[in-house]
Amino acid sequence: MAELIVRAELGALAAIADFLAETLAGCGDELVFAIQLAVDEACSNTILYGYPDGEPGTITIACTADGETVRVTVTDDGVPFDPLTVPPPRLDIPAEERPIGGLGIHFIRTVMDSVTYAREGGKNVLSMEKRRAASG
């Protein structure tokens, strides 16, 4: 398992994307891109909303890839927040009438095959899985 620990600051997003690209090299550009987008969205939300007192904490990205599945876990010490409780956005009404927010979580749910949340030891733990396409 590869792991990266960063300060919860927007400047860390590039390092996270690079870490995922290196860790998942050989998994296929499309898969890597989807995972980078989902992780970027999750981390952006944590950075922007997880530390209302202004002092950024840390985000840990753990990534494993086996023959069939890529697993990424994003752990942070921000305020408790279960993104899976966010209702799906209403895509059947015009964008200007929709409430702001919720699209990022919807996006994560859409591009990943499995998303789970837990609060463990005072930390938010978001686990995501994406199946690798069968080659051949």
3-state secondary structure the chain: CEEEEEECCHHHHHHHHHHHHHHCCCCCHHHHHHHHHHHHHHHHHHHHHCCCCCCCCEEEEEEEECCCEEEEEEEECCCCCCHHHCCCCCCCCCHHHCCCCCHHHHHHHHHCCEEEEEEECCEEEEEEEEECCCCC
What is the pTM for the complete model shown? 0.88
Tell me the domains of the chain and their CATH numbers.
Answer: 2-131 (3.30.565.10)
pLDDT of residue 55: 85
21 confidence band (pLDDT: 50, 70, 90) = very high
C-alpha distances (whole Å) from 75 to each of 62, 94, 99, 123 are 8, 34, 27, 6
For 63-113, write each residue's pLDDT tens digit.
Answer: 999 889 999 999 999 999 998 887 766 666 666 665 555 567 878 988 999
For 33-64, write each residue's pLDDT tens digit.
Answer: 999 999 999 999 999 999 988 888 999 999 99
